[in-house]
Amino acid sequence: MQQKQPYCSRLFVIGLFFIGIIQFTFAGDTVDLKKRKNIIIAGNSVAYGSLMIGLNELWYKDYPKSKFHFFNDNKQWLQMDKVGHMYSCYYEGLAGIEMMKWAGYNQKEYSLIGGAYGFFIQTSVEILDGFSKEWGASTGDMTANLLGAGTAISQSLFWDEQRLIMKFSFAPSNYSDDRPNALGSNYPEKVIKDYNGQTYWMSCNVNSFFPKSNWPKWLNLAVGYGADGMYGGDNNVFVSNGTSYDFSSTQRKRQFYFSPDIDLSKIKTNNTVLRSLLIVFNSLKFPLPTIEYGPNDGFNGHWVKF
């Protein structure tokens, strides 16, 4: 069985996320709520159908089909791909919440319906994987998807805001030079495919929990997770263009981070375009001084961590 490609569903997620942002930004503030709901329903139906058909045509149709089955990939990539699924579902959920809020649904409705947006999309992708002989549906992926959607939904339900924000940062690694087909041959590919360069963060808005304090509303504290030394999902032995490579001496290791962060959502604006841009860029961790901890390397400091 081939290793599941880590970037396929991520491309799908990114495309759908931006479609969602565009829909609620440019649909027009003068439209009444009934028409807004119709716009959301029609727009998402077309977007979802088009993307599912496109994904099948561009990816799955060239691979043999099978009965629906599961594939256990929970140990791959030191679980970086699972955190990536959680991140993707979280932001699809935020896009869904914003769309449903714009359409006039109440807090419970836009939290549950909109927040489940990402889980619904990613489950569809897992079903396609499940019917592909080359891969299979992953219970680990589905669990991560549920956690991502749950993070968006629970905060919207209880606080009507996101006090704990998932974020992403990236700095290219050297490993892709040795295995560009799996880890990326150019910068855009590396951002999506090279887990060695990715870091996923949970950024906490301290002032939201302690509103009477003097803590700046825009200043967050963030913890991050990354990994290093990975040439493949399970190990560092692979075959490329008929040549065998063994990088077993390269240590595969987890990395943990602590850093301040900037919460762009605290910038107040009535401009929906600017608000959309702030939502998009707030998904990225602001590069600031960072403390790193590795189980084998101990503590290290970075003046700036991307």
Torsional class of 296: left (φ above 0), alpha (ψ -120 to 50), beta (otherwise): alpha
Distance CA 124, CA 50 (A): 13
Query: 3-class SS at 256?
Result: strand
Distance CA 46, CA 128 (A): 19
Distance CA 273, CA 280 (A): 11
Question: pLDDT for 258-304, tens place per residue?
Answer: 999 999 988 888 877 787 788 788 999 999 999 999 988 899 999 99
The domain spans of the chain are 1-160, 163-306
From residue 86, alpha-carbon distances to 6, 13, 178, 228, 253 in Å are: 13, 11, 28, 19, 21
Q: What was the pLDDT predicted at 63?
A: 78
Whether the CB-CB separation of 36 and 221 falls below 8 Å is answered with: no
Q: What was the pLDDT predicted at 9?
A: 47
Question: For residue 98, what are the contacts with CB-CB under 8 A and spacing of at least 6?
Answer: 20, 21, 24, 114, 279
Q: What was the pLDDT predicted at 287?
A: 95
**Bridge partners of residue 299, in order along the sequence:** 293
Q: What was the pLDDT predicted at 8?
A: 47
Q: What was the pLDDT predicted at 273?
A: 76
Query: 3-class SS at 222?
Result: strand
Q: What was the pLDDT predicted at 256?
A: 98
From residue 257, alpha-carbon distances to 76, 84, 139, 169, 251 in Å are: 21, 16, 27, 12, 19
Q: What was the pLDDT predicted at 240?
A: 84
CA dihedral 7, 205, 153, 78 (to 10 degrees): 30
The dihedral built from the CA positions of residue 26, 30, 31 and 34, taken in this order, carries a sign that is: positive
pTM above 0.75, yes or no: yes
Distance CA 83, CA 28 (A): 35
Q: What was the pLDDT predicted at 20?
A: 55
pLDDT less than 70: residues of the chain: 1-31, 58
